[in-house]
Amino acid sequence: MFEMQTMAILMLVGFFFLLMLGVPVAITLATVGFIFGFLGFGTSLFNLLPARIFGIVAGYQWLAIPLFIFMGIMLEKSRLADDLLDVIGHIAGGVKGGMAIGIILFGALMGATTGIVGATVITLGLLTLPTLIRRGYNKSIACGAICASGTLGQIIPPSLILILLSDIMQLSVGTLFAAAVGPGMLLVVVYIIFILILGWIKPDLMPPIPKEERNLVSGKELWMRFWKVVVPPIMLVVAVLGSIVGGVAAPTEAAAMGAVGSILVTVFSGRFKWDILKRVALDTTKISALMMFILICAQVFALSFRGLHGEDLISNMFEVIPGGINSDIWFMLLLIFILGFFIEWIEISYIAVPLFLPVLLAQGADPVWIAMMITVCLQSSFLTPPFGWALFYLKGVAPPEVKIKDLYIGVIPFVLMQGVALFLVFYYPVISLWLPKAIGW
C-alpha cells in the first residue's frame, strides 16, 4: 500500500512537471496516467479503460454542452453584443464609473446567454477598452472590469462548469442552475458596489460620459433599441433557464431550444447570415471536441490514480488537518485556487473535485453548497496571474499602450472580491440554497 501511495505522489509530481514544460493538459493527463498505471499494474488496469471511457462519453447529459456552446457563439458571431453594449453603456454612462458598471451588467447578460469567457472578454476588449482609455479611464481598472465581467459566465447559468459538476457530483443540472443564481448575482452586486465606491473616492479614475454625448441619442430611440437589442436575449435566457429550473424541460431539451432561439434572435435583429451559421457550427465542433478529448484523457489519469490508492492518500491528508469539516473545505478551495494559477477549470474539475468530494460528503456537507463554492473559486482560475486565460484573451486584443502589468494590477481587486463572495457563500449557505429549496428541488 505504501509503495502504491508513493507512486500516486510521484504521479502528481510528474503531472505538474509536464505542465511546467508546456505540455498540453490533455496529453499530460493521459501520459502520466498511462506511465504510472503501467508501472503499478502492467496492462491489467487498462482492461477497464474502454468500458469506463464509453460509459462516460455516452452520457446523455453531454448533448447540452455543444448546444449551449452553439447558442453562445451564435450570439457572439452575429455581433449582437455590439448593440447590447452600446445600449447598456448609454444607460449607465452618466454615473462616475458608469461605463465600467455597464460592462459588468453586459458581462452578466452575456454570461447568461453565452457562458463562454473567451467570447465575452474578446468582445468587450475590442469594443470598449480603446474607448475607455480614450475617455480617461485608468487602464488597470478598465482591464480588471473587462476580465472580471467576462468570467461571470462561469457561474451565471447556463454555465458549462455547472453542467460538468452536475455529472461529476451526480446532481441535477436544474438544481445547480437554480443554486448559482444567488452567488452569480452576489458577484455582480459586489463588483458594482466596488466601482461605485471607487468612482466616488477617485472620480478621475473613471470619469462619466459627457452629457452632450449622451444627449445625441434620444430617450425614445434608446428605448426602442433597448426593446430590440436587450429584451430578446433576456427572453431567451428566461425561456431556457426557466424551463430547466421549472422542470418543464430537461437541460438537453432546453439547450436545443436555446440553440434554435439564438438563431431566431439573430434573425429578428437582422444579423443572420448563412456564412455566420457555418462558422458557428465549426467553432462549436472544435470547442466540444476539445472538451470531450480532455474528458477522455482525464479518465486515464483518474483510473490510474484510484488504482494506486490515491484516494486513500487524499483521505489521510484530510485527517491530519485540524478544525473539522470547515478546515477541510477551505483546504480544498485553497488547492483549487492554487491549481487555477496553472491549469483551466475543466481539468481542475476532473482532477481535484473527484478526489476531495467523497471526504467532504462523508462528513455530511451539502453537495449543492459545496458545488457553489467550487464554482465561485474556479472563476479565479481565469483571472489569477500568470496563466489566467481572461488575461491572455484581453492582451491579445488590447491596444499597444496596455501592458501586461496593467492587466495583472487590474484583476487583483476583482480576485479579492471573488474571495469576499466566497466567504459570504461559505458563511451564509442560504445564498446558494434558497432558490432550489423555494422551487422544491
Helix (H) or strand (E) holding 355: helix 345-362
Whole-Å CA distances, 403 to 118, 131, 138, 145: 19, 16, 13, 16
Out of 119-123, 160-164, 425-429, which region has the weakest mean confidence (pLDDT)?
119-123
pLDDT (tens digit per residue) in 243-263? 776 667 777 787 788 888 888
- The answer to whether the pTM exceeds 0.85 is no
Mean pLDDT of 141-156: 85
Q: Give the mean pLDDT of the chain.
A: 78
Average pLDDT rounded to a whole number, residues 377-398: 74
The count of structural domains within the chain is: 1
- Round to whole Å and give the CA distance between 123 and 287: 18
| Residue 427 Cα to chain centre, angstroms | 22
> DSSP alpha helices (H): ranges in 365-403?
367-379, 389-397
DSSP-assigned letters across all residues of 22-62: T--HHHHHHHHHHHHHHHHHTTGGGGSHHHHHHHHHT-GGG
Rg (CA), the chain: 22
Angstrom distance (rounded) from CA 304 to CA 376: 29
Say which residues have a Cβ less than 8 Å from residue 118's Cβ, sequence separation at least 6: 150, 389, 393
Q: How confident is the model at residue 423 (pLDDT cuts 50, 70, 90)?
A: very high
96 confidence band (pLDDT: 50, 70, 90): confident
Nearest to 70 by CA among 234, 230, 240, 298: 240
In a domain, residue 402? The reply is yes
CB–CB of 320/12 below 8 Å? Answer: no
Asked whether residue 325 carries a pLDDT value surpassing 60, the answer given is yes
pLDDT at position 351 is 72
Q: Cell triple for residue 43?
A: 496492462
Q: How far apart are CA 437 and CA 441, in angstroms?
A: 6
How sure is the predictor about 193, in pLDDT bands with cuts at 50, 70 and 90? very high
Q: What is the pLDDT of residue 217?
A: 60
> Other CB atoms closer than 10 Å to residue 136's CB: what's the count?
10
Given pLDDT bands bounded at 50, 70 and 90, which one contains residue 138? confident
The pLDDT score that the predictor gives to residue 427 is 92
Domain assignment of residue 432, given as a range: 29-38+46-438
Name the residue type at position 17: F
Question: Is residue 11 included in any domain, yes or no?
Answer: no
Q: Is the pLDDT of residue 196 over 70?
A: yes
What is the pLDDT, as a whole number, of residue 117? 65
334 domain-assigned: yes
Tell me the pLDDT tens digit for each residue of 12-41: 788 778 867 777 767 887 888 888 888 877
Domain contains 2? no
Kindly tell me if the per-residue pLDDT of 121 is higher than 80.
no
Q: In this structure, are residues 162 and 432 in contact, taking their beta carbons and an 8 Å threshold?
A: no
Does residue 1 belong to any structural domain of this protein? no
Alpha helices in 78-218 (DSSP H): 80-92, 98-113, 117-134, 139-150, 160-168, 173-201, 211-214
> Residue 100 falls within a domain, yes or no?
yes
Q: Does 412 map to a domain?
A: yes
Q: Does 134 fall in a domain?
A: yes
